Amino acid sequence: MEMQPGQMAYDRAITVFSPDGRLFQVEYARESVRRGTATAGVVFKDGAVLVADRRIANPKLAESSSVEKIHQVDDHIGAATAGLVADARVLVDYARLTAQINKVTYNEPISLEMLVRAVCDYKQQYTQFGGVRPFGTALLIAGYDDTGIHLFETDPSGSLTSFKASSIGGNRAPVMELFEQKYEADMDVDDAIMLSLEGLQQSMEDPQNLTTVEICTIRRDKGFTRLSSQEIQSYVSKLAPKEKGPKS
């Protein structure tokens, strides 16, 4: 993001608009999301799938299982994150608390849109008051309720959009382009997982490196399920190899 020298004074506080109506701290938070590894979600006929690339800085020494990019919020809701990991953990905890309060109060699972709006209202507060900063995290929240199966994307400003298939994090454009070309509403779970993996592959500098992928499904008949490493490898092995493109 480019800024003119005269605009620099407007990025000192979250509550100050620039003359052209921008909040620079929110735009910086979006940049933090773009620097995260890619995450994708796809809705299929019986549920939704979330996939995430959980690459870490020192893969030889770190335990990859300690890096969690996809979180269970409730039996019928999952959330995938991109951006600052610590910020994401706070938002996921807030989402879980909101879901449990609704269950205790009304004796029924929270609707997906109500949960997403609550999380986005929470994020929006951190764009409006002094002394705080926006959450440097975007979330893909997927699940089902009485109204159907949904996938929502949220960003640091607190905005939300519903998608049939979407991606957040680094190198998002080629993933979305692939989804636009290949998405079909009546896919089964296997097709949705393969499309998600193919999309994630588009975002990677080394498209053959799918060893750190995490996959979860949220289905009406099975709820939230995290695939084992053996199951993930089974899907990865079916994926057609993608040629590594030239570096730009």
pTM: 0.90
Per-residue 3-state assignment (H helix, E strand, C coil) for 76-127: CEEEEEEECHHHHHHHHHHHHHHHHHHHHHHCCCCCHHHHHHHHHHHHHHCC
Residue 195, pLDDT score:
97
d(CA 162, CA 5): 37
State the pLDDT confidence band at 93, using cuts at 50, 70 and 90.
Answer: very high
- Domains and their CATH numbers in the chain: 33-55+66-236 (3.60.20.10)
pLDDT > 50? residue 245? no
Of the ranges 51-60, 134-143, 223-232, 233-242, which one carries the lowest mean pLDDT score? 51-60
Tell me what the mean pLDDT of segment 136-140 comes to.
Answer: 97
In the block, tokens 């879980």 appear at 96
CA distances from 38 to 35, 51, 75, 80, 172 (A): 9, 9, 24, 10, 7
Of the ranges 81-90, 93-102, 110-119, 197-206, which one carries the lowest mean pLDDT score? 197-206
Q: Give the tens place of pLDDT for each residue, 45-75.
A: 999 999 999 877 666 777 777 788 999 999 9
Residue 67, pLDDT score:
80
Tell me what the mean pLDDT of segment 8-30 comes to.
Answer: 87
- Structure tokens, 86: 């610590």
- Give me the residues paired with residue 39 across strands: 52, 168
Burial 154-176 (b: 16+ CB within 10 A, else e): bbbbbebeebbbbbbbbebebbb
State the pLDDT confidence band at 15, using cuts at 50, 70 and 90.
Answer: confident
State the pLDDT confidence band at 4, using cuts at 50, 70 and 90.
Answer: low
d(CA 28, CA 31): 5
CA distances from 33 to 42, 51, 113 (A): 19, 16, 22
